[in-house]
Chain A
Amino acid sequence: MSDPISTGAEWTFELIEKYHAEIENIAEEYGLDTYPNQIELITAEQMLDAYASVGMPIGYSHWSFGKHFIKNEQQYRRGRMGLAYEIVINSNPCIAYLMEENTMMMQALVIAHASYGHNSFFKGNYLFRAWTDAEAIIDYLVFAKRFISECEERYGIDEVENLLDSCHALQNHGVDRYKRPYPVSMREEQERLEEREAYLQSQVNDLWHKTIPQKEAAEEEAKQQNFPEEPQENILYFVEKNAPLLEPWQREVVRIVRKIGQYFYPQRQTQVMNEGWACFWHYHIMNALYDRGKVTDGFMLEFIQSHTNVVSQPDFDSDYFSGINPYALGYAMMTDIKRICTDPEEEDKKWFPDIAGSNWQQTLDFAMRNFKDESFISQFLSPRMIRDFKLFSILDDEERSELEVTSIHNDSGYQYIRQALSNQYNLSMNEPNIQVYNVDVRGDRRLTLRHIPHNNIPLADTSAEVLKHLRRLWGFGVKLETLDAEGEVVNTEECAD
């Protein structure tokens, strides 16, 4: 047993370095594979700044970030909102912000949680590997900021602001769900910019040239009814490539918004796993520190208190309930997987024959790398977990006057609850399914979108505003058709020329 690293609550740079060195050792022994760490000390005010830019260390200027900043600042000053203890950025090196107000324990906790937990998740998880490029993101943000401020100088703040507003309205529908984005560094991006501008414009022109009636071509086109041939789910991408009237710089702005949306896409799909993973590891790392005598009992008590706060799940009828806490669910599932590996019961052997009794570190590592929330839950949510959380499902059908409890935490309900919870994290079920269906290439160039409701869930009335934004990007009329279960158009919203 060695002496504790520190005994007081105050932190210093030397202490942070000592703690970090210990934590790094422990993480290495546990086999966590991370990007190099960059730890930055910031003030509460800077934390508010970071909040406003949704965690991007560098962001282009836009009023909506100002709105968020004002809102957060207001709430913070009135004491309605505590600040997060940390923000971590998926980049290489992985940047983690520590707030100066934190105690020494909290700084150590944040280092374990963010710099080793989240960091290894960013590096390992398949979605982050496929969708984000940690090497290039900072460069890309720098490029984006510069490009947009150049546009503001050249075309005026209002012009750029309006364009960004329209892009933001569609940012969630600017994600390519199936294609792997191509990572490029800032320099390449810059080099390719001009080339792309020219090329895009020529493509677009090409498309519309075809609309000039030519005899042979007309016959050929009659066969092809729709443009695009297949419905496109990535509306922003479609706009970027095909909107007839956009200037090259406008296409580039659309692209920037789209790419940034894409960068954040995996975070939205892995919240439970990401937080669960980070909590699991900070818990293990902090306990390892304690076991090695590096920290005091007081330190440990403080840690356990804040850890418990983070991973607690209030019941549905509690005043504190606000949905399922991803930290609680994720942490409990990670811990449960470890339990299934190290200490399996009969039930676990039946439900999880592959992992019961296996090496827990390898199993967890595998789970972290190859799943997202939806699949992670449908794969690993154990009956034991369902019992511990006392999960139950409620069916809410608009057409019936009462809600129905469809299943609870019993033998016949496990499978059902597992599937239903997994669905709850399926983004495509939570976001309206809206795709680009057709462009009237030979007529008035109107763009038609189709909304296919899931379980009859209607579209919020914001859609009319969004259509106006899309109308601005597209340059011609825009129409949104809603289909019913039989595939018939039941409702049409339009934003005409």
Chain B
Amino acid sequence: MAQLIDRRPNAKGKSTVNRQRFLRRYKKQIKKAISEQISERSITDIDGGESVSIPKRDITEPTFRNDQGGVREGIYPGNKEFAPGDKIKRPPGGNGGQGRRASDSGEGEDEFVFDISRDEYLDMLFDDLELPNLQKNQLSKMTKSKSVRAGFTNDGVPTNINIVRSLKSAMSRRVAMGAEPRRRLHQLEDELQALQQEVGGDESRRLELEQEIEQLRKRIKKIPFIDTFDLRFNNFVQRPVPTSQAVMFCLMDVSGSMDQETKDIAKRFYILLYLFLTRSYRDVDVVYIRHHTQAKEVDEEEFFYSRETGGTIVSSALELTRDIVAQRYPPTDWNIYAAQASDGDNWNDDSPLCEQILAKQLLPQLRYYAYVEITRRDHQGLWAHYENLLQAHDNFAMQHIREHDDIYPVFREFFRKQTQ
């Protein structure tokens, strides 16, 4: 009779290890593929995984193999009209007449294409990046507590009973409680034996002894095998897990000078930022501020998808940021980051004001302020004023993006892991 085994409940993913080994080995190629794709990726599906394609020649496993050529004879089924001695023109491609060449590469495409999950994608994308200057300001917001083992207790719920410990303590209790009577018992038994061997011993003493022995035996027998007193329970305590909270201010110019392509690049930059933040920190508040001549706090939807026209006054956004920080995000409790995207246009008299607000009011409170200028033109006033800030403030950074392909490298430049 055969043995019939249902393996279906067994752990799936026996290949997970091997899959991870594969990703690990080709990390470099996969990362390259991902960074090439990021600039072309559409915004809406950025939450999903990614289909990665790496060159097949990199992953082939070489073996000694025969190549085409030489003299070969092959047998084929289904002859219809051939007679011995017939000559046939060699089919194009060279291998038509030789049967299929043994190939370990399957369909013979040049690229090995496969999917990775969202998590794997983000890991690869943001590998080696971190939010700069993160400090655990306060353990103010305890979002989660964790159950940790904390020795043993004498009471608890039945599910937590520790059997080994309970039985051990039961045993030691039995030994301890029985020790005295047992010692006495041995003593009396010895005495009784001596008395019995003695001719004409003391009969009443013998009875007395027997009675006492009987009582002692009963007493020993009455020691309970296990007692509520013996029970030991695994103890767990809840320990709060600190989480660092951060808030990210996204500032974007939506004035008339920002054309659709520029906005598009800015959007992608923020999306990267947002993904990066949500990956790194459990609690990340995001504040979206868009501005033309006036600044306004908006929700994500409006931030990315609505249009405005008009002139540009950057300082309005900076002031709004400052006010929101003051009202809602005290720097003692929050790690504050801000990123500003602009095409560099600003009302000329406003730029010195921006520099001032940043230097005096915002930067001292922020962990990091990143400015990206998205333009193909020359820099204008704002860039020059911002450059003045670079020297004095190491939490200020600025980069220039010209086209889609720059987004990812610039992003990496901003958030490269700082080596201490």
A interface list, Cβ under 8 A from B: 13, 16-17, 20-21, 24, 36-43, 45-46, 48-49, 52-53, 61-67, 69-71, 73-75, 93, 97, 100, 111, 115, 157, 161, 165, 168-173, 313-318, 321-324, 389-398, 401-410, 412-413, 417, 420-421, 423-424, 430-432, 434, 451, 453-463, 465-466, 469
B interface list, Cβ under 8 A from A: 1-8, 10, 12-15, 17-26, 59-80, 82-90, 97-100, 102, 106, 112-115
A18 CB to closest chain B CB (Å) equals 11
Once the chains bind, are A324 and B62 in contact (CB under 8 Å)? no
Known: A39-B2, A70-B22. A396 touches B64 (CB 8 A): no
- CA A390 – CA B78 in complex, angstroms? 5
- CA A69 – CA B87 in complex, angstroms? 44
Which residues on the A side are within 8 Å of B75 (C-beta)? 324, 391-393, 417, 420-421, 424
Known: A38-B2, A318-B78, A405-B86. A43 touches B12 (CB 8 A): yes
Known: A405-B85, A407-B84, A462-B63. A314 touches B3 (CB 8 A): no
Once the chains bind, are A70 and B114 in contact (CB under 8 Å)? yes
Chain A interface, DSSP helix/strand/loop, else mixed: mixed
Which residues on the B side are within 8 Å of A36 (C-beta)? 2-3
- The residue that A52 contacts in the complex, of B18, B25, B74, B98, with Cβ under 8 A, is B18
- The residue that B70 contacts in the complex, of A20, A115, A453, with Cβ under 8 A, is A453
Once the chains bind, are B2 and A37 in contact (CB under 8 Å)? yes
Of all chain B residues, the one with the shortest Cβ separation from A14 is: B4
| Given A315-B77, A315-B78, 10 further pairs, Cβ under 8 A | A39-B2, A41-B6, A63-B25, A74-B114, A74-B115, A313-B77, A392-B79, A392-B82, A460-B66, A461-B67
Which residues on the B side are within 8 Å of A62 (C-beta)? 18, 21
Once the chains bind, are A20 and B4 in contact (CB under 8 Å)? yes
Which residues on the A side are within 8 Å of B69 (C-beta)? 398, 456-458
Of all chain A residues, the one with the shortest Cβ separation from B74 is: A394
- The residue that B64 contacts in the complex, of A323, A409, A459, with Cβ under 8 A, is A459
Which residues on the A side are within 8 Å of B74 (C-beta)? 393-394, 396, 420, 424
Once the chains bind, are B8 and A46 in contact (CB under 8 Å)? yes
Once the chains bind, are A406 and B73 in contact (CB under 8 Å)? yes
- The residue that B3 contacts in the complex, of A48, A61, A93, A396, with Cβ under 8 A, is A93
- The residue that B73 contacts in the complex, of A402, A420, A456, with Cβ under 8 A, is A420
A462 CB to closest chain B CB (Å) equals 4
A69 CB to closest chain B CB (Å) equals 4
Which residues on the A side are within 8 Å of B97 (C-beta)? 394, 396, 403
- CA A250 – CA B164 in complex, angstroms? 43
Of all chain A residues, the one with the shortest Cβ separation from B17 is: A61
Once the chains bind, are B63 and A466 in contact (CB under 8 Å)? yes
Of all chain B residues, the one with the shortest Cβ separation from A318 is: B78
Which residues on the B side are within 8 Å of A49 (C-beta)? 12-15
- CA A97 – CA B99 in complex, angstroms? 32
Of all chain A residues, the one with the shortest Cβ separation from B8 is: A43
Which residues on the A side are within 8 Å of B80 (C-beta)? 315, 317, 390
Once the chains bind, are A406 and B84 in contact (CB under 8 Å)? yes
List 13 interface pairs A-B (beta carbons < 8 Å), by A numbering: A13-B4, A39-B5, A43-B12, A69-B15, A115-B2, A392-B79, A394-B88, A398-B70, A405-B84, A453-B70, A458-B67, A459-B66, A462-B63
Of all chain B residues, the one with the shortest Cβ separation from A328 is: B77
Of all chain B residues, the one with the shortest Cβ separation from A388 is: B77
Which residues on the B side are within 8 Å of A67 (C-beta)? 22, 59, 112
B68 CB to closest chain A CB (Å) equals 8
- CA A69 – CA B76 in complex, angstroms? 33
- The residue that A409 contacts in the complex, of B20, B61, B79, B115, with Cβ under 8 A, is B79
Known: A74-B115, A406-B84, A434-B64. A46 touches B78 (CB 8 A): no
- CA A420 – CA B112 in complex, angstroms? 36
Once the chains bind, are A37 and B79 in contact (CB under 8 Å)? no
Once the chains bind, are A172 and B15 in contact (CB under 8 Å)? no
